[in-house]
């Protein structure tokens, strides 16, 4: 019993440390869209896309390798030292080379060298804390991990508020003060990156003692084994970064220079409305994945996974329809400059794409359970290929035929994640059959998509249509799931658990509460 309590306690803390930073970053969108012109906001998002891509490269699968070998090897100290030394020298090499060639990088990417310099430092500092953070997780110190992670984002958010909102007011009111000397006009993008550098530097300073605690003994044989294990993780990470971020980079490269950054700006702002589905997918995955593995040996495990996936689709379909019905309410709250709203037409596509990615994450349990994680890399590479090819094809075609180029990026995103979802389902049926209730799953997903299309593209902002559609969908859910829902309602004195959703999937003698 204590094992399960500890498992879910740590999962909740790590989930909080993952979801809260995303929510805080959500709060920056209204600030950026209010204060930054579309082109500048587009530039920020392109640089952030490069930053995420290089974060994956500088981690090169070492984080996952660390966990694998820390739990596998008897000499855990050697794993810690070898990992830290490896990341330290590769980060230092990257920092030195990137700073030497920063002018060439700035020319290639097409941005001010000053911003590229800031970005290089942020990437290097973030890489240097990968293993210290992993060590906290491996040694079961979730609270310290969460405090530092959340603290980093709070500092970043606070500094953004100070530099972008309060510092200009202070400089105007007290022109001779010390703080006014810190204010520079037309430096808004610079302040965003300075805020990130300070937050990353403070995080590194807190975790710096980890570098003084090692004896700097490098086990080359262990390192080679860790690198071989981490290579598929690196490939999958690069593929995922391409799927998640390369649309902004390609938009900036493939569109005419006079409109490229504007289109990236409006697309990135409206893309953020998909964060509701991202938060749901992230929180759900962090909470349910340990359950998948803990029930892998259960004789009814496949039925359990099928039921869990069905309820993921039910709640996700409800979120999909809810966000799309009220998308124009959310846009007013999040995107303060109405000139950004021109890209609102991509919102349903982006939310549905993130939903497909969430379903894919649920379906992907099969290759994890049979230790064929390389299949995940293959599927991600297929998705990356679709993302790149469709962006290259559709962006110029859309722009040439009177549509905005970012519509091509949105279509590419939904095609990539939708393909990954279908491929995982087909391959999973071959290697690890799970009896999904495809009739109900297809019904919920199909009806929510149909109602979303009707609400957004035919009766947009007409809540006399949208709200009834949402109510009809809720009634449809209740009609089909009333037995389970009534069970939960009758037991409302306790918090609903997975067992409330999955009747008769576990032998009472195996219930940890009965041990």
Structure tokens at 91: 């980060």
Entry pTM: 0.83
User: Is 374 exposed, middle or buried, given 0-12, 13-18 or 19+ CB atoms closer than 10 A?
Assistant: middle
DSSP letter string, 304-331: HHHHHHHHHHHHHHHHHHHHHHTHHHHH
Helix (H, G, I), strand (E, B) or coil at 42: helix
Q: Dump pLDDT digits (tens) for 313-344.
A: 999 999 999 999 999 999 998 898 899 999 99
Q: Which of 200-209, 370-379, 419-428 has the lowest mean pLDDT?
A: 370-379
Is pLDDT larger for residue 28 or for residue 471?
471
Return the pLDDT at 1.
Answer: 42
Report which of residues 266 and 370 the model is more confident about. 266
Q: How far apart are CA 233 and CA 134, in angstroms?
A: 16
The angle, 0 to 180 degrees and rounded to 10, between the axes of the packed helices 275-294 and 2-35 is: 170
Q: What is the CA radius of gyration of the chain?
A: 24
User: What pLDDT, on the 0 to 100 scale, is given for residue 282?
Assistant: 78
Q: What is the mean pLDDT of residues 167-186?
A: 88
Query: From CA 47, how far away is CA 239, in angstroms rounded?
Result: 18
Report the alpha-carbon distance of residue 390 to residue 382 in Å, rounded: 12
Mean pLDDT of 253-278: 90
User: Looking at the predicted structure, is the pLDDT value of residue 164 above 80?
Assistant: yes
Find the range with the poorest average confidence among 179-183, 247-251, 303-307, 458-462: 303-307
Give me the percent of the chain exceeding a pLDDT of 70: 88
pLDDT at 371: 66
8 A C-beta contact, residue 119 and residue 47: yes
Average pLDDT, the chain: 85
Cα gap 13→5, rounded to integer Å: 12
Amino acid 137: pLDDT: 79
Least reliable range by pLDDT among 3-17, 177-191, 425-439: 3-17
Q: Distance (Å, rounded) from C-alpha 509 to C-alpha 515?
A: 8
Sign of the alpha-carbon dihedral angle for 426, 430, 436, 437: positive
**For the range 508-515, what are the long-range contacts, defined as Cβ-Cβ under 8 Å and sequence gap of 24 or more?**
510/298, 512/1, 512/3, 512/4, 513/1, 515/1
For residue 454, give the DSSP letter: I
> Where is average pLDDT lowest: 269-278, 301-310, 435-444?
301-310
- How far apart, in Å, are the Cα atoms of 493 and each of 59, 192, 360, 487, 498? 46, 47, 34, 12, 16
Could you read off the pLDDT of 473-508 as tens digits, one per residue? 999 998 888 877 676 566 544 444 545 555 444 443
CB 62 within 8 A of CB 86: yes
**Based on the number of CB atoms within 10 Å of its own CB, is 47 exposed (0-12), middle (13-18) or buried (19 or more)?**
buried
Write phi, then psi, for 185 (nearest 5 degrees). -70, 155
């Amino acid at each position: 019993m204590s094992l399960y309590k500890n498992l879910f306690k740590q999962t909740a803390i790590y989930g909080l440390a993952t979801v809260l930073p995303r929510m805080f970053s959500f709060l920056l969108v209204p600030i950026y869209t209010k204060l930054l012109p579309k082109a500048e906001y587009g530039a920020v998002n392109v640089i952030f896309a490069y930053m995420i891509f290089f974060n994956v490269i500088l981690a090169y699968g070492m984080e996952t390798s660390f966990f694998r070998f820390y739990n596998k090897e008897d000499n855990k100290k050697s794993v810690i030292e070898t990992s830290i030394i490896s990341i330290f020298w590769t980060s230092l090499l990257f920092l030195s080379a990137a700073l030497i060639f920063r002018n060439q990088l700035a020319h290639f990417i097409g941005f001010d060298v000053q911003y590229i310099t800031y970005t290089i430092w942020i990437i290097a500092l973030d890489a240097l804390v990968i293993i210290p953070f992993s060590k906290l997780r491996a040694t079961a110190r979730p609270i310290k991990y969460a405090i530092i992670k959340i603290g980093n984002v709070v500092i970043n958010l606070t500094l953004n508020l100070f530099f972008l909102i309060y510092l200009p007011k202070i400089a105007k009111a007290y022109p001779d003060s010390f703080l006014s000397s810190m204010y520079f006009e037309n430096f808004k993008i610079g302040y965003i990156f300075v805020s990130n550098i300070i937050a990353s530097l403070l995080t590194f300073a807190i975790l710096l003692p980890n570098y003084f605690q090692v004896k700097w003994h490098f086990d080359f044989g262990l390192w080679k084994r860790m690198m071989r294990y981490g290579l598929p993780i690196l490939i999958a990470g690069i593929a995922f970064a391409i799927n998640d971020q390369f649309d902004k980079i390609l938009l900036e490269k493939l569109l005419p220079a006079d409109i490229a950054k504007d289109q990236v700006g409006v697309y990135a702002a409206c893309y953020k409305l998909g964060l509701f589905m991202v938060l749901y997918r992230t929180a759900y995955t962090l909470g349910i994945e340990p359950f998948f593995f803990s029930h892998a040996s259960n004789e009814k495990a496949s039925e359990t996974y099928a039921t869990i996936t069905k309820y993921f689709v039910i709640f996700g379909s409800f979120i999909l329809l809810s966000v799309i019905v009220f998308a124009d309410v959310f846009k007013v709250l999040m995107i303060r400059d109405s000139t950004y709203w021109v890209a609102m037409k991509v919102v349903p596509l982006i939310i549905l794409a993130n939903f497909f990615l969430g379903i894919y994450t649920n379906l992907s349990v099969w290759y994890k359970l049979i230790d064929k994680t390389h299949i995940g890399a293959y599927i991600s590479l297929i998705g990356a290929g679709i993302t790149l090819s469709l962006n290259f094809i559709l962006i110029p075609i859309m722009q040439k035929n009177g549509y905005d180029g970012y519509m091509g990026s949105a279509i590419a995103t939904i095609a990539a994640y939708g393909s990954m979802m279908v491929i995982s389902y087909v391959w999973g049926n071959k290697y690890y059959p799970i009896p999904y209730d495809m009739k109900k799953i297809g019904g919920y997903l199909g009806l929510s998509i149909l109602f979303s299309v009707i609400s957004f593209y035919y009766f947009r902002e007409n809540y006399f249509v949208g709200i009834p559609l949402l109510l009809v969908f809720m009634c449809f859910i209740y009609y089909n799931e009333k037995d389970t829902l009534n069970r939960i309602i009758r037991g409302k004195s306790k918090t609903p658990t997975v067992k409330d959703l999955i009747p008769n999937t576990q032998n009472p003698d195996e219930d940890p509460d009965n041990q």
